[in-house]
A and B are shown apart, each in its own frame.
Chain A
Amino acid sequence: AQRVTQPEKLLSVFKGAPVELKCNYSYSGSPELFWYVQYSRQRLQLLLRHISRESIKGFTADLNKGETSFHLKKPFAQEEDSAMYYCALKNTGFQKLVFGTGTRLLVSP
């Protein structure tokens, strides 16, 4: 069965500190991994996907198939990064997304 695990419900850091939001998954097929973000009073939106290998708002995420992880990283957190972050998985070629329970990132000044 597909499963996405985000072990931290809340991650609190100071501005300028490095951030790593953890995501582990279990899936036997060929997964695609995503990070979605929900800022306060805004809609859930796609932040990045592993196949794009891009950096968005300073965030990067590398798919590690050996460790079945897709951790989200940023070297220097900003206050505007405070939001709810969801890791999600789907089977390549299919549409159904499976989400983790989310991690709330709080960046303090």
Chain B
Amino acid sequence: DAGVIQSPRHEVTEMGQEVTLRCKPISGHNSLFWYRQTMMRGLELLIYFNNNVPIDDSGMPEDRFSAKMPNASFSTLKIQPSEPRDSAVYFCASSRNSGSGTDTQYFGPGTRLTVL
């Protein structure tokens, strides 16, 4: 298994543009997590899904951010319009939710976003 796959790996865009980040979880995993990593705030959970349903989106910074999971093998995180303060590394992670809460999260390589 290739693990969690994210695309693109790097994205440079201009302020005001729409940005879409993509994630393919590990096959068989039914929980998916989006994180943002910055120097100042470290790793922050933005949103997570169980069985394609958003469970907790309290970490989504504002309405410019939206996430979807149309099926078990694909998720997107969209920023519209993008701003320079959105520049960060965005990680996707997945886990097999057995219901025990002890499942390990496996992380993707991340997408480094730069908004000019």
Contacts and interface: CB of A to CB of B under 8 A. Distances in A.
Contacts of B42: 86, 99-102
A99 B43 CA distance: 6
Contact of A86 (B41, B43, B45, B97): B43
B95 A95 contact: yes
Interface of B: 3-4, 31, 33, 35, 40-45, 48, 50, 55-56, 91, 93, 95, 97, 100-110
Nearest to A94: B101
A90 B43 contact: no
A109 interface: no
B107 A45 contact: yes
- Give me the 10 closest cross-chain CB pairs, A-B, nearest first: A101-B42, A99-B43, A93-B101, A44-B107, A43-B107, A102-B42, A46-B104, A94-B101, A99-B42, A43-B109
B41 A95 contact: no
A6 B100 CA distance: 27
B44 A99 contact: yes
Nearest to B59: A96
A98 B45 contact: yes
A26 interface: no
Contacts of A94: 101
A21 to B, nearest CB: 14
B43 A92 contact: no
B105 A46 contact: yes
B104 A95 contact: no
Contact of A44 (B56, B91, B102, B103): B91
